[in-house]
Structure 1
Amino acid sequence: MTASLTVLGAGIAGLAANHAAAALGHDCVMYEAAPRAGGLLDSIEVQGYRFDRAVHLSFADQPEARAFFDQTAHAAFTPSPRCVEHPYWLKHPVQNNLHPLPVDQRVELVRGFVERPDTRPGHYKDWLVSQYGRALSARYAERYTEKYWTVPAEVMGIDWIGPRIHRPALDEVLRGAMTDDTPSVYYAPQMRYPERGGYRAFIEPLITKADIRLDHSLCRIDAQSRHLHFTNGHVTRYNHLISTLPLPVLAGMVDGIPDAIQADAQSLVATTVDLICIGVARPNVFKDLWFYIYDDDVMAARASCPGMQSADNCPPGCSSIQFEIYGSSRRPMMQSAEALQRDCAQALEKWGFATNADIAVSHHHHVPYANVLFEQGMEQRRDRVRTWLGSMGIACAGRFGEWDYLWSHQAFQSGADTARRVLASAT
C-alpha cells in the first residue's frame, strides 16, 4: 500500500514532516540518498572526537520546535563569539568592539561610521556602507563576505539580512572604541547544545521513529503518474510528495520541466564548505564556542570548538576545533584536502593555540550544500521554480527545498508546516 506521504531527504525538515504526519495519523515513508539520516545535522566521528557538520547551536524560538528540542538533555550558553584579525582579538560584532585596535585606527573607523552615507541601498555592499561607513565596511564586512559567501558584496541582495547582522547606534560604536566593557548584542540571548551525542542528538528521537529507506538516490520523478525512480533500480508510487532536496537538483529530475524553469533552477547557487576537524592532545586549549576569522592568510571564515560545546565531543584531556572553508561555483575550491589542513594547522600555530606536535587528529569532510547564495534577483527565479513544482504536486521544505536562509529550528518548522498543509488537502 502506498503511504499517505512520501518525503525526499532525511534531514531535519524531512524528519519534522514525518513527525507532523504521524501526529495527524498519516503514514509516511522517507527516502535518503546517504547511508545515514540527519543531513547537515549529522555528526562526524574520528578517533574518539565528534564534530558537527559546521557549527550548530540551537536558539529555537518557535514553541513547537523549542518544545521538541527541549526533550533532549542540553547545556545552555550565553553567546559571546570573538573575531580574530591577527594580532587582534575583538568581541563580536567588530563594529561595537574596536577597543583592542590602535588609537589611530579606531579614530579612522569611527569617523567613517559618523560620515556614513544616508542612501537607499541597491545591493549588499551599499547596505554595509550605509550601516557602518566605508572604512568599517571595507576592512571587515566586505572581506568577510568574500570569505563566507564567496562573492563580492555588490553581487548580493539585501532581503535575506533580517536580524542576522547588528545595526549599531553611534553610542554603541563610541563605547566599544573606548572600552572592552560592552554588552552582548547577539541576535539570540541563549544557545543550547546536547549534553551527549553532538547536535544530532536533538533529532535522534525523530530518526528512531521514522520509516527511512537509506541509500536511495533519486534520479527521476514522473509527476504525471506519481512515480519516483532511484539509481538503485527501485521505483515507487507516491500519493503526496514533499522534497527537501536542493531545488536545482530536484528540478533537473522532474519529467517535462519547461526550459525557462530549468534555466531558473540552474541559476540558483549554494556555497560548499570544507570542514577541517582537528583534535588537539591537550586540555583547555580553546575558550570560544566559535569565532570569526578576518585574517587574509587563513582560508577559513569561521571556526568552532566542539569540546567547548560538550565534553562528550572529545576524549578526556583533549580539545578540538573545526574550521569552515567556503567555496561555490562562483569561486570553486581549488586546494587539495591536504593543503586546507596545512593552512588550518598554520593558523593554530600563528594564534598560539597548538603546534603540529600537539595535533592528534586532522580530518577533512566536504559538504556540497552549505548555504544558499543570495545573489540579486535570486528570489524571483527561485519563486518561479517553486511555483512550477507546486503546480506539479511537489511541495518543498527546508533550507534547500525552500531555498532560503533557515536555521535548524526554522527548517524543523518548515517541514512540519509543509506536511500539515499538504495533508490538509488530502482530507
Structure 2
Amino acid sequence: MTGDTGFVILGSGMAGFGAANQLAEYGIRPRMYDQRPRPGGLTSSFDHGDGFVFDEGVHISFTKSDRVKQVFASSVAGKFETGKVYCNNYWKGHWIKHPAQVNLHGLPTPLVVDCIRDFVAASQMQEPAIDNYHDWLIAAFGTTFAETFPMVYTRKYHTTDATNMTTDWLGPRLYRPELGEVLRGALEHEPLDVFYVDDFRYPSFGGFEGFMHGLFPKADVHCGHRVTGIDPAARRIQFATGASAGYDQLISSLPLPVLVPLIKGAPADVVDAAARLACSQCVVVNIGLNRPIESKAQWSYFYDEDIPFARVSYRTALSPYSAPPGCGAMQAEIYFSDKYRPLEGTPDDWIDPAIDALIRCGLIGDRSEIIHRSAIWIPFANVIFDHDRRPALELVQAFLEDVGIASCGRFGQWGYTWTDAAFLSGEQAARRLVKAMAA
C-alpha cells in the first residue's frame, strides 16, 4: 500500500475525531490511522457480553460549548442521560462530600479543629513563596488539611510527591475557599456546592464511546496500523505492517514520547526531552455486582494510603443501562508510572487487592456479590506536571512545528485535557493547517 496524499490523522480518540470533524466542514475527508483494532482511543468502551459495559476509567461530558453538546448529542441520536454531579470522599471510615475542604462536618473533632486553625494561620501569611504544588497546598489550606488529604491523594493519583509538581495544571480543579465557607462546612452537613463540575451528560447505551460513533464516518479509518516511522522531508509514514502512506498535512494525537522517536532526523536533545515527559498509568479494576449500588455519587475519592485505588466510579450512576437489570457496577482506579511508581505484577494481580479494599470500605458486602471481575491497563492515563515537563515540552513543541506536524489532544499537547478540550484541540489543529495552506 502506498496511500494517497492529503490530510492524515494519527490516533482515533477525541482529538483525532475533533480534527476530522473540523476538516469535514472544509469538505475534506482525512485518512486516519490507529494501532488499536477499532477506533475510540481513550474514550473506548467495552461490552463484555454479560450486560456490563465499562469505559477506560470514568468519563463524562460536562462541556459548556453548545456546539460540542450538539455534536455529541447527534452522535447518539439524542439518547443520553443527564444529571447533577455529586462526588464524595472516603477517609478512615468517614464519608464526606467533595470537595473536602468545605465539607469537614462529621470528621473527628480534633482533626477539624486543627484544619481550621491551620487554615486561619495560612490565610494570614503575606505573599508566601510558591515554588511547587506542596507550597501551594500549604498556602491554600494550611498544613493539617494539606497533609491529610490532597498530599496523600497526590501520591496515589500522580504517583509522586507534591514538592515534585508545579501548579501549571490547577485551574479550577482545587477550590480555594474563604474562612466562612470552611467554618460553615465544618458546622453543617453539605451546605455548599462549589465543585467545578455541575451538570453532566453520558450516553444511555454502549458507554462513553457512543459520543464518538457519529464522528466515525468523517474519516477514512485504518485500524491495526502501528506507526514505526515518520519522514517529514518525504512526507511519508511507515507502519509495522510493512505498509506506508504519504501525506501533505499531518495531525497527530499520539503521545509525545511515542511520536518524537518515530520522526526521522529528530535531534537527540528533542528525543531526550520527550522521554522526560512523565505520565501516570492506570489499572482499572471492573467489578459487576448481583445487586444495585445505592450511591448518590457518580464517583468517590480515597485518601487512605493503605487503600490501593485513588478513585472509584459507579457505572449505573452514569447510565442505568451500563449493567444488567437489578445489578450494579463500579470501577476502581489504581495508578502507576514508569518514572515514579512502576507497575508491580500484572494488571490482573490488582483485582483481588482492589476487591479487598472495596469490601473494607463497605462498597461490597462480600465476594458472593461479584458476578463480573476484569481489569483494563491504560499505559497513558494522566499527565504528571513535574518540574521536567515545561522545559521539555517547549523543546518538543518547537521541533514539531519545525517539521510541520500539528499535535493535539491530552498526550499530543501533554496537558490536563478534558474530553471536550481534547476534541476542540483537534479542531484547532485542523484549522491551523487549513489556514496555513491558504496563506
Question: TM-score, structure 1 length as denominator?
Answer: 0.97
The structure-2 alpha-carbon separation of the partners of 1:338 and 1:31, relative to structure 1 and needing over 3 Å to count, comes to closer
Residues in 2 aligned to 1:164 and 1:64: alpha-carbon distance in whole angstroms: 24
Q: Deviations over 1:197-231 (max 9, x none)?
A: 21111111011432100000000001110110000
Q: Deviations over 1:141-198 (max 9, x none)?
A: 1000000000000000011111111111101100111110412101122111111121
Paired residue for 2:358, among 336, 348, 358?
Answer: 348
What secondary structure does 1:252 align onto?
Answer: helix
Which residue number corresponds to residue 110 of structure 1?
Answer: 116
Where do residues 94-243 of structure 1 align in structure 2 (5 Å cutoff)? 94-116=100-122, 117-118=125-126, 119-243=128-252
**8 A contact 1:3–1:28 mirrored in 2:** no
Which residue number corresponds to residue 77 of structure 1?
Answer: 83
**8 A contact 1:3–1:29 mirrored in 2:** no
Residues in 2 aligned to 1:204 and 1:167: alpha-carbon distance in whole angstroms: 38
What secondary structure does 1:264 align onto?
Answer: helix
Residues in 2 aligned to 1:421 and 1:63: alpha-carbon distance in whole angstroms: 22
Residues in 2 aligned to 1:48 and 1:388: alpha-carbon distance in whole angstroms: 47
The structure-2 alpha-carbon separation of the partners of 1:247 and 1:338, relative to structure 1 and needing over 3 Å to count, comes to closer
Unmatched tracts of structure 1, length 5 or more = none
Which residue number corresponds to residue 371 of structure 2?
Answer: 360
Which residue number corresponds to residue 264 of structure 1?
Answer: 273
Residues in 2 aligned to 1:418 and 1:278: alpha-carbon distance in whole angstroms: 38
What secondary structure does 2:291 align onto?
Answer: coil
**8 A contact 1:66–1:409 mirrored in 2:** no
What secondary structure does 1:224 align onto?
Answer: coil
AA aligned to 1:300 is F
**8 A contact 1:2–1:239 mirrored in 2:** no
Which residue number corresponds to residue 313 of structure 1?
Answer: 322
The structure-2 alpha-carbon separation of the partners of 1:48 and 1:9, relative to structure 1 and needing over 3 Å to count, comes to same
Range that drifts further, 202-211 or 332-341: 332-341
AA aligned to 1:29 is R
Unmatched tracts of structure 2, length 5 or more = none
**8 A contact 2:408–2:429 mirrored in 1:** yes
Which residue number corresponds to residue 52 of structure 2?
Answer: 49
Q: Deviations over 1:2-49 (max 9, x none)?
A: 242100000010011111111101231000100011011001222220
Residues in 1 aligned to 2:47 and 2:106: alpha-carbon distance in whole angstroms: 37
Residues in 1 aligned to 2:35 and 2:207: alpha-carbon distance in whole angstroms: 22
**8 A contact 2:24–2:218 mirrored in 1:** no
**8 A contact 1:64–1:413 mirrored in 2:** no
Q: Deviations over 1:34-69 (max 9, x none)?
A: 001101100122222001111011111234322312
AA aligned to 1:94 is A
Residues in 2 aligned to 1:53 and 1:223: alpha-carbon distance in whole angstroms: 33
**8 A contact 2:29–2:219 mirrored in 1:** no
Residues in 1 aligned to 2:310 and 2:361: alpha-carbon distance in whole angstroms: 15
Residues in 2 aligned to 1:416 and 1:338: alpha-carbon distance in whole angstroms: 37
AA aligned to 1:141 is P
AA aligned to 1:379 is R
Residues in 2 aligned to 1:64 and 1:411: alpha-carbon distance in whole angstroms: 14
Paired residue for 1:408, among 405, 411, 419?
Answer: 419
**8 A contact 1:372–1:404 mirrored in 2:** yes
**8 A contact 2:308–2:357 mirrored in 1:** no
Residues in 2 aligned to 1:177 and 1:33: alpha-carbon distance in whole angstroms: 50
Which residue number corresponds to residue 399 of structure 1?
Answer: 410
- Give yes or no for the alignment of 1:372 onto 2:383: yes
Question: TM-score, structure 2 length as denominator?
Answer: 0.95
Residue 86 of structure 1 and its aligned partner are, at CA, apart by 2.7
AA aligned to 1:310 is S
Which residue number corresponds to residue 68 of structure 1?
Answer: 71
Calculate the aligned-residue CA RMSD, in Å.
1.3
AA aligned to 2:205 is R
Range that drifts further, 271-280 or 43-52: 43-52
AA aligned to 2:40 is G
Which residue number corresponds to residue 299 of structure 1?
Answer: 308
AA aligned to 1:125 is H
Paired residue for 2:23, among 21, 24, 27?
Answer: 21
Which residue number corresponds to residue 93 of structure 1?
Answer: 99
What secondary structure does 2:32 align onto?
Answer: strand
Paired residue for 1:383, among 386, 394, 397?
Answer: 394
Residues in 2 aligned to 1:159 and 1:209: alpha-carbon distance in whole angstroms: 34
Q: Deviations over 1:55-102 (max 9, x none)?
A: 011111234322312323222211110000131001001111011112
The structure-2 alpha-carbon separation of the partners of 1:22 and 1:97, relative to structure 1 and needing over 3 Å to count, comes to same
**8 A contact 2:290–2:371 mirrored in 1:** yes
Which residue number corresponds to residue 258 of structure 2?
Answer: 249
Residues in 1 aligned to 2:29 and 2:199: alpha-carbon distance in whole angstroms: 36
Which residue number corresponds to residue 33 of structure 1?
Answer: 35
Residue 377 of structure 1 and its aligned partner are, at CA, apart by 4.1
